[in-house]
Amino acid sequence: MGCTRGLLTRCLCGITGLFYPQYGIVLDAGSSHTNLYVYEWPAEKENDTGVVHQVEVCKVEGLGISGYSQDTEKAGLSLQRCMKRAQEVVPEHQHRETPVYLGATAGMRLLSIADRVLSAVEKTLRSSPFNFQGARVISGQEEGAYGWITINYLLGNFKQPGWLNFLPHLRSSRGTSGALDLGGASTQITFVPDQEPIESQENSLHFRLYGKNYKVYTHSFLCYGKDQALRLKLASDLQASNGSLLDPCFHPGYLRIMNISDLYTNPCIANGEQQLPFTQLHLQGNGDYQRCRMTIQKIFNTSHCPYSSCSFNGIFLPPLQGEFGVSLDARYTWREVSGASQACDNHVEQQASKVFVLLQVKAEFPKIKEKYLSEYCFSGTYILSLLENGYGFTMEKWQSIQFLGKIGSSDAGWTLGYMLNLTNMIPAEKPPTRPLSHASYYFLLVLSSSSLSL
Ligand SMILES: Nc1nc2c(ncn2[C@@H]2O[C@H](COP(=O)(O)OP(=O)(O)O)[C@@H](O)[C@H]2O)c(=O)[nH]1
Ligand SMILES: [Ca+2]
């Protein structure tokens, strides 16, 4: 319908344009995999809180984009299937106006040739019909901040009930939730501490959202995502071994042979390869939850703290306060956390029961891919160690932790917060409460103009 003719059609266009939901696309290029998210919101409410929601998630097949460093073209090609899926989800007449963003996280922070991979990815995204808005490596601080914004936006914690505007002195400082995100190559902790000031500048964020100021603490531990943490642990265990390891963090019956060079050609592991008199690691599982905790404990250096309080490796951490949501990737880990001691602690008397244990773990978690299943003992035990020994979540504070997969229809994770920020959908000031919504305002306008022209 052409929108250039008379007032009435122009207004009608205005109204129908308001009724079209709007869309945004974000690709989360993680160290182990990429997910594409499509978000939707009603056009006339975009500055309200809690109205943007996820309508599609497409898991990109293959590696995380940093895994294509030897063949960067494939990094771009790997995204094509999900980009096609996004074209089916977003109505065709809105493709050109729909922004698409790609944010890459820790896997790309660790890659020296990240730019080459990003330019291959950019080529694919530019060739799509959407409005390409950039592909970049986001910082650990951004990843923590946007994860915090996502969780609190979806929980409605930025929404101040309307009646409080008439009694500002009574305005409830409705609390916000802390956000914990455990990836494969990094992990983030973000929350509003009670204690002021935040002693280290690099951990301090200031937000003004919907008319309220937030002083937020965040830290991203590069190399402490669960995949890199395993490498840190093995590199430490290796120093006191002759090339074969009985590892309590793997279930009995687990066998793995690794090239030492694969372990040490990784920016997370400080050099140590040349001192080793062997080139391969023979790893055999002999699951023991408590001993596994002890071998993991070694990768958290708590020997020095230049602040009033620290987490580990000399990083400032104010006293924990409030509720915490553990986001997305850790959801998988929650299954592992709840099954950790079971997945590790199978004292095995004889060969037969080793097979039984493996089958039992498989039986317990039939849908889980073999790759993840084999690391259940380690990854479940790792998140427990990270929370308790790394961050100091004592057992009673555990009640304050919610393992979040989705909040409503939307995955918890940094991508929604990233898009809200880039599309300016979180105003610094609270939008004026409109007596009428745009749509009803237009409708009345049309009604009055058509009665005039009749
Ligand atoms: N157990 C399990 N883990 C998963 C699954 N999918 C992804 N993960 C893990 O979740 C983590 C995702 O990390 P990712 O976001 O790629 O890395 P980041 O760049 O550090 O954020 C990795 O450790 C993956 O192995 C799954 O289906 N099951
Ligand atoms: Ca991630």
For the stretch 246-264, pLDDT in tens is 999 998 888 999 999 888 8
Residue 398, pLDDT > 80, answer: no
C-alpha span between 66 and 108 (Å, rounded): 5
C-alpha span between 52 and 49 (Å, rounded): 8
> What confidence tens digit (pLDDT) does each residue in 306-348 have?
999 999 999 999 999 989 988 756 456 565 556 656 667 653 3
At 128, the pLDDT band (50, 70, 90 cuts) reads very high
Element (H, E) at 422: helix 414-422
Ligand 1 mean position to 258 CA, how many Å?
21
Smallest CA-to-CA distance from 430 within 148, 153, 160 is with 160
Q: Is 70 annotated as a binding residue?
A: no
Ligand 1 mean position to 255 CA, how many Å?
22
Q: Copy the structure tokens of residue 176.
A: 């916000």
> Which amino acid, residue 254?
Y
Contact 31 CB / ligand 1 (< 6 Å): yes
Ligand 2 mean position to 185 CA, how many Å?
8
- pLDDT value of residue 275: 79
Residue 151 near residue 177 (C-beta atoms within 8 A): yes
Contact 318 CB / ligand 1 (< 6 Å): no
Give the residue, 403 or 359, on which the prediction is more confident.
Answer: 403
DSSP letter for 19, please. Answer: H
The atom number, within ligand 1, closest to the CA of 226 reads: 23
For the question of whether the overall pTM of this predicted structure is more than 0.90, the answer is no
For 322: left if phi > 0, alpha if psi spans -120 to 50, otherwise beta; the answer is left
| Residue 251 three-state SS | coil
At 289, the pLDDT band (50, 70, 90 cuts) reads confident
Contact 225 CB / ligand 1 (< 6 Å): yes
User: What is the set of domains in the chain, with CATH numbers?
Assistant: 20-137 (3.30.420.40), 140-407 (3.30.420.150)
C-alpha span between 314 and 302 (Å, rounded): 7
Q: 92 Cβ partners below 8 Å, 6+ apart?
A: 129
Mutation choice for ligand 1 from 26, 28, 31, 32, CB with most ligand atoms inside 8 A? 32
Ligand 1 mean position to 225 CA, how many Å?
9
Query: Residue-wise over 160-190: b if at least 16 C-beta within 10 A, else e?
Result: beeeeeeeeeeeeeeebbbbbbbbbbbbbbb
Mutation choice for ligand 1 from 332, 371, 414, CB with most ligand atoms inside 8 A? 332
The percent of residues in the chain predicted with pLDDT above 70, rounded, is: 76
Ligand 1 mean position to 377 CA, how many Å?
15
Element (H, E) at 292: helix 289-297
Residue 3, pLDDT > 50, answer: no
> Which amino acid, residue 112?
S
- pLDDT value of residue 2: 42
> What confidence tens digit (pLDDT) does each residue in 180-208 have?
999 999 999 999 999 888 899 999 999 99
> What confidence tens digit (pLDDT) does each residue in 337-376 have?
566 566 676 533 333 333 334 444 455 555 656 667 778 7
For 253: left if phi > 0, alpha if psi spans -120 to 50, otherwise beta; the answer is left
Residues annotated as catalytic (active site), given as ranges: 143
Contact 30 CB / ligand 1 (< 6 Å): yes
Smallest CA-to-CA distance from 357 within 342, 336, 369, 339 is with 342
Strands (E), 30-138: 34-42, 53-59, 99-104, 131-137
> What confidence tens digit (pLDDT) does each residue in 9-32 have?
445 545 555 568 999 999 999 999
The percent of residues in the chain predicted with pLDDT above 90, rounded, is: 57
The atom number, within ligand 1, closest to the CA of 379 reads: 1
Minimum-distance ligand to the CA of 185? 1
Q: Is 179 annotated as a binding residue?
A: no
C-alpha span between 392 and 190 (Å, rounded): 14
| Residue 451 three-state SS | helix
Contact 329 CB / ligand 1 (< 6 Å): yes
Minimum-distance ligand to the CA of 343? 1
Ligand 1 mean position to 380 CA, how many Å?
13
The alpha carbon torsion through 141, 142, 146, 149 (nearest 10 deg) reads 60
Entry field: residues in the chain:
454
User: Which residue's CA lies nearest to atom 7 of ligand 1?
Assistant: 329
C-alpha span between 403 and 335 (Å, rounded): 10
The atom number, within ligand 1, closest to the CA of 375 reads: 1
Residue 67 near residue 118 (C-beta atoms within 8 A): no
Minimum-distance ligand to the CA of 107? 1
C-alpha span between 126 and 436 (Å, rounded): 39
Instruction: Supply the mean pLDDT for the chain.
Output: 83
CA 115 to chain centre: 22
Contact 35 CB / ligand 1 (< 6 Å): no
The atom number, within ligand 1, closest to the CA of 32 reads: 16
The atom number, within ligand 1, closest to the CA of 106 reads: 19
> What confidence tens digit (pLDDT) does each residue in 54-108 have?
999 999 999 999 999 999 999 999 999 999 999 999 999 999 999 999 999 999 9
Contact 147 CB / ligand 1 (< 6 Å): no
Contact 253 CB / ligand 1 (< 6 Å): no
Ligand 1 mean position to 184 CA, how many Å?
5
- ipTM of this complex prediction, to 2 decimal places: 0.97
- pLDDT value of residue 402: 82
Q: Is 188 annotated as a binding residue?
A: yes
Contact 185 CB / ligand 1 (< 6 Å): yes
User: Which residue's CA lies nearest to atom 23 of ligand 1?
Assistant: 184
